[in-house]
Amino acid sequence: MGKIIAYNFISLNGYYKGADGDTSWHRHGKEEEKYSEEMLALGNVLLFGRKTYELMTAFWPTPAGMETSPKVAAGMNAAEKIVFSNTLNDASWENSRVLNGNIVEKMEALKKSDSRDFAILGSGSIINLFTDNNLIDEYQVMVDPVAIGKGTPLLEGIKGELQLKLTAVRAFDSGVVLLTYVNQ
């Protein structure tokens, strides 16, 4: 049975996206790029909500994505991807498919039937939904040393209390800190 890993970056004051969805404040240096390469090499199935999927597909399969970070782009493009959406009918990015309807039930079935791990990238609403349904096994939170004025907090609106255990801390030269927690 695979596990579900929620990965997101946040500002020092807890926002995963700023006003109007802005994430330009996120610091992503060479070490963070190397970490992305390492994670993509694991072969996890990538999970996205529609909005994050649309942002990712507008960049990674393009020449700009390949020029910016060739190894990450290659990993993103080659990875199996699932986008959760009730408005998309098909996904054009290679190795992508759309799941709609009761995605909690569908993800529970996938998690039980697949030995690979699943990684949610961004996609705050999916992280919240899966948190509320106790589907997420691990949370990786990359904390940027920046505070922003307005934004959307990570795990905003979850219905219950979430008890986590810190299992790893990794500091990057940029000042970014990666915190890894497991669900208790």
Q: What is the CA radius of gyration of the chain?
A: 16
> What is the rounded CA–CA span in Å between residue 136 and residue 117?
11
Q: How much is the pTM?
A: 0.94
| Tens digits of pLDDT across the chain (184 residues) | 899 999 999 999 999 999 988 888 998 889 999 999 999 999 999 999 999 999 999 999 999 999 999 999 999 999 999 999 999 988 999 999 999 999 999 999 999 998 899 999 989 999 999 999 999 999 999 999 999 999 999 999 999 999 999 999 999 999 999 999 998 8
DSSP-derived pairing of the beta strands 96-99 and 81-84 = parallel
> What's the pLDDT at 114?
87
Contact between 153 and 117 (Cβ < 8 Å): no
Which residue has tokens 């963070």? 32
Domain locations in the chain?
A: 4-183
Distances (CA, A) of 5 to 19, 112, 142: 26, 15, 13
Class of domain 4-183: alpha beta
Question: Where are the alpha helices (H) located in the chain, listed in sequence order?
Answer: 30-41, 50-57, 63-68, 70-78, 103-113, 124-132
Phi and psi, residue 113, nearest 5°: -95, -10
The whole-number pLDDT of residue 164 equals 97
Backbone dihedral angles phi then psi of residue 179, each to the nearest 5 degrees: -110, 130
